[in-house]
Amino acid sequence: MAPISRLFDFIVIGGGSGGMACARRAASYGAKVAVIEGSGRLGGTCVNVGCVPKKVMFNGASIVEAIEDAKHYGITVDKHSFDWGFLKQARDEYVKRLNGIYERNLSKENVEYIDGTASFVSSTEIKVNDDVFKASHILIATGGHSVIPKIEGSEHGIDSDRFFDLETQPKKVAVVGSGYIGIELAGIFHALGSDVTVFTRTEQILRHHDSIIGDTMLAEMKRQGIKFEHNSSAQALKRIHGAELPLELSWGVAGTDKPASAAYDCVLWAIGRTPNTRALNLASVPGVALNKTGHIVADEYQNTGVKGVYSLGDVFGKSELTPVAIAAGRRLADRLFGGERFAGSKLDYANIPTVIFGHPTAGTIGLTEEQAKKQYGAEAIKVYQTRFTNMYNALTPFKPPTAMKLIVTGADEKVVGLHIIGRGSDEMLQGFGVAIKMGATKRDFDNCVAIHPTSSEELVTMR
């Protein structure tokens, strides 16, 4: 006998930030909502193995750096040490509290939390274990996971998720990949005392960002003592039992025939992420299509090719950032359940600010210089940029750079790109993001009186 379906107005597959935001907003309008999550904890990548615990580790690393700087301000710190295990325990307890808050929030909003793996039976039915749930609206917000290279011994390495499982601090680390995840974790490892080498397939890092960020970050990381293997491709990873550094990584270098190798006690794969779709049984909803990267195809309103089935967040693959998924989820719920005034509700994916929590931090919004040239033509854009030393480092012997770039177009010099790197970039970008989202011009920036002495004043005084 076929199981009897339980009825809901809205089923959300995935208990991450985007799915949770969408579910709670829908419930606030009186919809009967269920959230299905199979990992055993709510919050998704961001809360459990992403933004939140990463920022805790970043904060710890930044405190260590500040202690190193203290002597240049006449502050004596006689002795300091770092306890990785202590920080891990405190961080994990904080994340666990957040998991509980998420679960209590669902309960308060009368959203049913279903623990299990969801798979489609039809466009309106979802199966979890032996139970079937039915709704006229179903959201796929299942997130993504790290890509592991298909090379011999890759299972001996870890990904960014398992970074947070490390019980002790590695002595010597290889980070394979130079996107923002690899660069952030490399910076944390190094600041906390590990010997770090970053492997990148080209001469550059952070290739999807403006060159002022990638080039400046690369030079500063090298100055700090982080090593780089450029034009490299990992070929094999071998475990050597009993060795102090038990992982032997082999790699090839473009233009040479002879592979190189070195020993490490931690190898971290940071070569990209891919969407979680395998368990969904999408064959039961043939109108839900995947693109060439495996992400679920959806339009500007998050509609897939099947009526009543939606997709957002990392599984959708456009601007894979937690605040983007939250904003898209809330707007989708507004449109579906908020009444006529929200009939056109959707997220505008243009000009989304984002930050790299590297050492130093960096922030970006809008078009890179190359993108602006392609979109408007090289002759139709103008670039303003500056480099200087943050006043924090006025008394230190080393002078980490701060670099800023404004990209404008048209007679009114509308700002179409802003890229900053240096101390405080993470906190200063949000306000400038508001201005750019509102269509600010270079004159608008110039008309704002500077706050002195700050780094951000440079953005309103560029010539």
Q: Could you give the residue numbers annotated as active site?
A: 452
Beta-sheet pairing, 381-389 with 401-409: antiparallel
Instruction: Render the burial of 58-96: b for 16+ CB within 10 Å, e for the rest.
Output: bebbbeebeeeeeeeeeeeeeeeeeebeebbeebeeebe
Dihedral sign computed on CA atoms, order 319, 320, 322, 326 = positive
Structure tokens at 372: 């602006």
Asked if residue 397 has a cis previous peptide bond (ω within 30° of 0), the answer is no
